[in-house]
Chains A and B, each alone.
Chain A
Amino acid sequence: MDYDAIVVGGGHAGIEASLALSRIGFKTLLITQNLDSIGRLSCNPAIGGLSKGNLVREVDALGGEMAHLIDHSMIQYRILNRRRGPAVQAPRAQADKFTYARLAKETLEAQPNLALFMDTVVDLVLDKEGKKLVGVVTQRRHTITCRVLVLTTGTFMEGRIFIGEYDAPNGRLDESAAIGLGTALRSKGFPVGRLKTGTPARVRKSSLDFSKMELQDGEEIMMPFSFDYDSIDRPMLPCHITWTNERTHEIIRANIHRSPLYGGKIVGKGPRYCPSIEDKVVRFPDRERHQIFVEPEGEGTEEMYLNGISSSLPEDVQWDFIHSIEGLEDAQIMRPAYAVEYDFIDPQALYPSLESKLVENLFIAGQTNGTSGYEEAACQGLMAGINAAQKLKGEKPLVLSRNEAYTGVLIDDLVTMGTQEPYRMFTSRAEYRLNLRHDSCDQRLTQKGYAVGLQKQENLERLQAKLEKMETVKELLAKRRMGEKSALQTLKMPEITIADLEAQMPELSSFEQPILYQVELDVKYEGYINRQERQINRFEKLESLVIDALMDYDAVEGLSAEGREKLKKIRPLSVGQASRINGVRNSDIAVLILHLDRGGRHGK
């Protein structure tokens, strides 16, 4: 055996997976097509956002890397949806894309136990029965063996990019696709499908007229994503906002037939939540304008990202419609917008540990599972890495529940319901989001990260200290009177912030901002969290009815035909999971519960 573990792909999923495996102590190899593109931000130069910011902090709480990378490469920081309420607000940062990728590679290089190798994996090696993974074959004909493998191919597996009539076998513009692997997996019986996504053009900063745009600054104080430190100091760059207009839409409408999407060249399904500009124009013909965020891609570059107008129209059309936009009249287009179509593997073929149901020891993560987004990729990469390590140790997988992490929601959604379009995290996907606040991820997850051997002792201690400080602050607030009420009660009022109290209670100033912030949220939320508890109890009851992965559904009488097929396909590990499968009816669940009771498997 050459390695304990191999990770294929040096994207956001692969970075987390390879770091987790090597940090836990396994001899790991990361194979990626190009060492220079490790940790590249293919699309938007930003990390975080609503629910995605939570994912980043969950990764961090478990012992992953993403938060460190963005903390040390950010060039703007914002808390989104402050006014919408504490449960749904989340941090988002613009990244210097070069710094981000360089830090990623440096971190991998500095990691003991981790080897890096530039090549492209073209096939998997299975044992004689075809049931267990034993290694990989690369393009340059190396066969490398391992005990577990994490596959994270991103947009590269049989990737193809489209710009109008032009197309090329790329995963990103002018970066070779990984050709052969998708075909090999198909022939091995993996349920491989096609998805698509797109990215907008990059234009040159000095060619833009910012005076015609709206300025968008970040927060004055940057707060770290990571729980490991309390402050960061990074340069800040502004973003700008401009809008499309009727003229832009006319140009797009007149050329819509030249889009590879409308021409039927692209078969993969794109994300509805992040439509291309031509999609928006066609689907919402009544809208007079669409917003565009002009975002810097880094300090050392003039490239600016035009967030909001991804497209796969031909370059001459892009040229025309971009120049029809205010502030972009003379924009120099440095990179065109393009769409990419790639192979993904139906995640319903995975267990909640992200291990394949078809081939043992094979874990799959990231865009390969039908998701989209760096954070979505990172959290899966981390979980796949952790669970591959658990497998090597012969221990039970770590499966996060829907009520403890967005990561848990994401993975459960994927393996239970699959996806028809690139899956992105949304707050509304989570039923118990009051419990999933970004500022309390460490309280839910750090211990778990420690238990699997990833989190450091010192972080556990820091968490302890944090909890103690929070207690102290709460005590101070409870003791201090403010008119009729205590400061604690005052803080419950929606219009009062902890900053307001700080003015009157200088003793609070000795506590770090994150501590004060979290106390504030805790206090404001208490009543509602208690209300949600009841629902959670009911949810947990069904989750705790365990179903054997090898359950013989044919022997279960009374299941509907469709329910039976779906159960056989998904092989849920709990009644709770079964109840979320599309096509499994209430009556099927009733029958299952009855069957489990009779079979005495209940709760074991």
Chain B
Amino acid sequence: MQASAPSGILAGMTRYVTDDIIYALATAWAQSALAVIRISGEGCLKALSPCFSRPKALVEAQNATTVHGYIRTEAGENIDEVVASVWTDGHGYTLEESVELSCHGSLSVIKEILGLLGRLGMRSAEGGEFTFRAFLHGRLDLTQAEAVQELVSSQSKTARALALGRLEGSLKNQIADFKQRLLTITASVEVQLDYAEDELDEFVFPREQLETLRKDIAVLADTYQVGRLYREGARIVLAGSTNAGKSSLFNLLLKQERSIVSPVKGTTRDYIEADLSIEGIPIRLYDTAGLREGSDAIESEGIRRTERLMGQADLVIYLVDSTDVSHIPSEDERTIVVYNKSDLVRPPKGRLAISAQTGEGVTTLLSAITERLTGGSHASGDDLVVIESERQSRLLTDAGNALERASALVTLDIPLDIIAVELSEALQNLGELTGEVTPSDILETIFSGFCVGK
């Protein structure tokens, strides 16, 4: 178990050598204020120094210090002003000698620096290779390695914060806590199998502990959806009849949030889309053609597309004109019905109402959207732990299922040796998340908790 897991991570890796210097852009390939370029491998400082304005300072830098200077071409022309953060061997992310260059985030600067590094004999890293090295050098366990992978591909700030939180071990701690609780339950069963019945006190299966643990695991497993939401974002489609005020709401929402990425013009006349973020969730918002009976062929084609869009959406905001409530769609998991023009006509009590004109009710709408997308679990608190990878989610779900089966077997009064099989399966699943559980862990728990032995 312990060893098969890493082979999974390695499966995609084509370069296993760790004796050369690798580099990569650590920030996104986009115009931005600041970019970070990461370099790792024995001798990287020396290799970089000829093209650094203060070679001596760079080569002699202490671990975890920064050196300010200029990156220059081989001909000595300045490319950019940078801050080099230096880690010596045995430190830093990869535990190798490494340096991070913070430079200006213009694409031309980035390109030029990367090109220079290549000419200095360094190799462009493959996806995940820094993590792989960190992993090889024992810096990361699997959950951490996965967190890094997601950090790299994370789209939004919250996803980034969540990924960071996990690196610091909040997920690890959470799972370790589950593991400990399960270990206690398992030990109470195993001791019954290790010692004869007449040597032990009357045994009552720790039913309640098992149940609460199972529930807690399920809650964590469910956060996978939330994690994915913050990472991959959601599609929201504005729908409703033509003059329900969709476009006003569309524009209002874009204005509401400062973090608009790029309002993109729709490729067809059927809808317009824009990226924004609502309470940290990356959202692609679609303003669709009106849903009214199409008379001409082009319009009914537009409506078909709208319907398709709605079908793919994570959430449909169905806007109803309060002044014309002839058609009210039914609300379901994926649909929020919102009454617009609340400034003109009072919408029915208890329903979501806004005025796209005055902006009334929009804040409520925003939180309704978040609520709906996250299923109520908000990622805003510091303490929220979410599962972000498919694998973690699967292992937790499997563990939960095994516990559920165990619980069912207890009800049926099935002998402990079989129940123990389910418990050990659950333990193994948890173990695969943070590090294995060995029989000696179980015995250790037995010996420390029970007075056994003739």
Contacts and interface: CB of A to CB of B under 8 A. Distances in A.
A44 B195 CA distance: 16
A275 B193 contact: no
B19 A426 contact: no
A532 B421 CA distance: 8
28 contacts: A80-B197, A84-B192, A85-B414, A86-B415, A87-B418, A88-B193, A88-B420, A272-B447, A273-B452, A280-B451, A287-B451, A291-B199, A307-B454, A426-B439, A427-B190, A428-B193, A428-B194, A431-B424, A434-B421, A494-B413, A542-B4, A557-B19, A563-B138, A576-B3, A586-B5, A587-B137, A590-B9, A594-B10
B136 A494 contact: no
Interface of A: 44, 49-51, 80-81, 83-88, 92, 216, 241, 271-275, 280, 283-284, 287, 290-291, 293, 307-308, 417, 426-431, 433-434, 494, 528, 531-532, 535, 538, 541-542, 557-558, 560, 563, 575-576, 578-580, 585-591, 593-594, 598
Give the contact-size bracket for chain B. Answer: 35 or more
B135 interface: yes
Contacts of A578: 3
Interface string B1-35: 11111110110000010110000000000000000
A253 to B, nearest CB: 16
B1 A560 contact: no
Contacts of A293: 198, 454
Given A51-B194, A87-B418, A586-B3, 16 more contacts: A50-B194, A84-B197, A86-B417, A88-B420, A273-B452, A308-B454, A426-B194, A428-B190, A428-B442, A429-B440, A431-B424, A558-B18, A563-B138, A579-B2, A586-B141, A593-B3
Nearest to B2: A579
A542 B3 CA distance: 8
Nearest to A90: B196
Nearest to B419: A85
A480 B78 CA distance: 92
Nearest to A495: B413
B229 to A, nearest CB: 30
B453 interface: yes
Q: Which 5 A-B pairs have the closest CB atoms?
A: A85-B415, A85-B417, A590-B6, A589-B3, A87-B417
B75 interface: no
A428 B16 contact: no
A166 to B, nearest CB: 24
Nearest to A281: B451
Contacts of B136: 558, 587, 590-591
A447 to B, nearest CB: 26
A419 B439 CA distance: 14
Given A307-B454, A429-B443, A575 B418 contact: no
A590 B416 contact: no
Contacts of B420: 88
Contacts of A83: 197, 415
B412 interface: yes
Contacts of A576: 3
Contacts of A272: 447, 453
B417 A586 contact: no
Contacts of A417: 440
A130 to B, nearest CB: 34
B425 to A, nearest CB: 8
Contacts of A494: 412-415
A591 B446 CA distance: 34
B89 to A, nearest CB: 13
Interface string B426-440: 001000000100111
A27 B446 CA distance: 46
B418 A85 contact: yes
A590 B135 contact: yes
Contacts of A291: 198-199, 454
Contacts of B83: none
Contacts of B417: 84-88, 433-434
A290 B200 CA distance: 10
Contacts of A307: 454
A308 B142 CA distance: 45
B452 to A, nearest CB: 6
A560 B18 CA distance: 13
Contacts of A87: 417-418
A290 B439 contact: no
A409 B186 CA distance: 20
B6 A589 contact: yes
A201 to B, nearest CB: 14
Interface in B302-320: none
A395 to B, nearest CB: 30
Contacts of A80: 196-197
Contacts of B440: 417, 429
A563 B138 CA distance: 10
B443 A426 contact: yes
A555 to B, nearest CB: 13
A590 B451 contact: no
